[in-house]
Chain A
Amino acid sequence: MKDFIVEPLENIEVLESKDFFSELSTELSKGSGISSYFAMPQGSDFKLFACLLSKSGEIKIICSNVREKITSLSTFFPQLHLFEREIAEKTGLKIDGHPFPNPVRYENGLTASSGKYFRLGGDEIHEVAVGPVHAGVIEPGHFRFQCLGENVFNLQIELGYQHRGIENAIPKVKKNKFLPLIETVAGDTSIGHAWTFAKVYEALSSCEISPRAASLRGIALELERMANHVGDIGALSGDVAYLPTSSFCGRIRGDILNTTAILCGNRFGRNFIVPGGVAFDVDEKITEEMMSKFDKAYEDAVSAISLLWDKKSVLDRFEKTGTVTTEQALKLRLVGPVARASSVPFDIRALFHIYPYEDYELEPLTLNGDVFARAYMRWMEIKKSYKLIKNWMNNLPSGPISVESKSLKPNSLAMALTEGWRGEISHVCITDENGNISFYKIKDPSFHNWQGLSIALRDAKISDFPLCNKSFNLSYCGHDL
């Protein structure tokens, strides 16, 4: 099975608006997840696309022409909630029956005052507003808590402060500017997004990358995953003031990033992945240097992180804090390690088994969706990534690292999925009659998962928010685009 789909636009059947929404709800009730949902301008009207991913890994795209309004289904399928708000904001279409039609990113002249804040009544309710300017050097976001004493009833997350208009910029820029833009969607997921973009681009130009290039991409992606997971576990232990792990993990994350730098000259893997393959090859000397650094970093990570799981005071803080149940995770369609920590066995790598992940399987794990589960899931993934990288490094297939990428097919739609370190990344690209990109849609995994954070905080203690936030560690700029 392929983790991308490419179709000429005329092959995608345009449904009647009514049929579209009934088809959408049928698919969602069957357990498919929404991977991307957007409206493309077409003259004065809009063409609505929904990209669905079924449980067995089939990608289905449904489409309909809409004008003036769309029907909101988010009351029944909360996973559509943010997508519908996004469509309404981008297009100006009305969304019939949406429970909370706030703007997402304050585009198209909408400002913070166009939205509303959820409020609880009562004299004893205490409202705490945090951000968008925070005490640490982190990205901007506004969080509003409705509390009774230390208990949180509701957390409203308002983002959009990082909106840069990347999706709109892509059809307008020259070809050589695509990757620099894509790699800044979320700086810590440069490789994940670049690979997804490359998949879309290769699908549209019908080119197939060599096994060597795929293995090298895999190495880069897993290095990215490891570096971020190690950093996250360090940050989590820093939040509970457990110094031994937190002091070491910051440094080890740096060591892993430096391994990526040996691979391609950039710590975040920028300019490594190009459509058609990768930009840099490795020889024996580089492989050796990488492996010696990498093994050392992994060894250190094992000894630093193992301390956490034996420490009662740490486990006491992690366990039963910020629980997201399996049911909630499924309803909101959480993705990535966050979903797997709530026992949702969803992983693009295991679903499609594309090369070089052909042997990748998920272990059957029952975790209960608390901070401990999310931390432990990351630890499991670090160990798996290590094995994958070791294996690929030792058995690198020979061959060219890149193939000439041809021009893009005209009037086509391509969609690709990648398991980034935060979860499912999806990119959709639509070309015009000259084979130029006319529309581009990016979905960072954070777009699904922010809602999960808000749910994790229900009935939690407000003092546990920073810990829950770190355990999700979502991207602000990936959400804001």
Chain B
Amino acid sequence: MENIKLFLQAVIILFAAPILPGIINRVKAFFGGRQGRNIFQLYFDIYKLFNKGIVYSNTTTLIFRIAAPAMAALSCIAALIMPFGGQSGLLSFSGDFILIVYLLALSRFLLIISAMDTGSPFEGMGASREAQFAVFAEPVFFMSILTLSKITGESSVHGIFSKLSPVLWVENAPVLFLIVLSLFIVMLCETSRVPFDDPDTHLELTMIHEVMVLDNSGPDLGLIFYASAIKLWILGSFVSAIIMPRHSEIFWLDSLIYISGLAIVAISAGVVESVMARVRLLRVPQFLLAAFSVAIMAFVFQSLKG
């Protein structure tokens, strides 16, 4: 029975991830006074792309061809580590959050070199921006998880999540609040949302993430869309686990709490996107450094307490 549950969780994660961008889009449409696209639009897009052929530019090499499938695979592995509701993930071990970060980093590395591989000046520009911002985003994430780990005394993602409870909030509200803030900022940056990037823009010169996939087409592009939806799911899970820390020990109820937590995160991302303009590219590192200081502050508070 436990094995079936583990398997079921993995299937739900891998199938449900593309709904999060759909929720964000609906929230944006609501604020814009529009009806908006179908909440399942990303599924249709991915299905459509999978039925198309692939065009490879003549200047690309093997790197470009393996990047997209490898990115999707790496993201899926990272997703399998994530716990689901109160349950442990399929692959869970002590210190597994480090693996999650580096699986995502490896997938970013592949995206960057595949962008460089095309030889296009736009994609090189996007790659340089992505690499620069990643340097600032990574320590924020580590610092936040480290503090969480210190609060809960656990070192696996599952352990941390299962120790999070309303009681913990009562005791550590300020620290947890700071962690939620910094993780939310990292999530927006890493998944290329406003105010860091604009997923809807068609202007090559301002893009970060989108410009790197200009040469990808067909199933490759579909895989990249899918990988970024999974990434949003993974990073959103951390935020959702902290803001909805209730465990009922009933599988379906926990799953429901977990998924509605993710929906709340997606809605908040949509609201931020609707009411805020994108920051200047120059300010992105400053923004991330601010998030880093928030994370450090959380760590210091926690250390002083302990």
Contacts and interface: CB of A to CB of B under 8 A. Distances in A.
Given A135-B202, A313-B195, A462 B125 contact: yes
Interface string A407-449: 0000000000000000000000000000000000000000000
B115 to A, nearest CB: 14
Given A241-B200, A248-B33, A317 B277 contact: yes
Contacts, number: 85
Interface in B23-51: 28, 31-34
A247 B36 CA distance: 12
Interface stretch (A122-130, A177-185, A195-203): A122-130
B279 A463 contact: no
Interface residues of B, number: 31
B169 to A, nearest CB: 30
A239 B198 CA distance: 9
A297 B28 CA distance: 23
B205 A465 contact: yes
A363 interface: no
Nearest to A150: B281
A463 B280 CA distance: 8
Instruction: Identify which of B125, B200, B282 gathers the most chain A CB atoms within 10 Å of its CB.
Output: B125
A126 B128 CA distance: 12
A247 B277 contact: no
A7 B125 CA distance: 56
B273 A243 contact: yes
Interface residues of A, number: 32
A241 B274 CA distance: 8
A128 B282 contact: no
Interface string A435-475: 00000000000000000000000000111111100000000
Interface string B190-216: 000011001011111110000000000
Contact of B274 (A244, A248, A316, A466): A244
B95 interface: no
Contact of A237 (B128, B201, B277): B277
Contacts of B125: 126, 128, 150, 462
B121 A128 contact: yes
Contacts of A135: 202-204
Given A127-B121, A462-B125, A466-B206, A311 B277 contact: yes
A321 B202 CA distance: 20
B278 interface: yes
B204 A240 contact: no
A247 B280 contact: no
A239 B203 contact: yes
A243 B203 contact: no
B276 interface: yes
A-B pairs with the 5 shortest C-beta distances? A247-B32, A242-B277, A241-B278, A466-B203, A240-B277
15 contacts: A135-B203, A149-B128, A239-B201, A239-B203, A241-B194, A243-B273, A244-B31, A244-B32, A247-B34, A313-B276, A313-B278, A321-B280, A461-B280, A463-B281, A465-B205
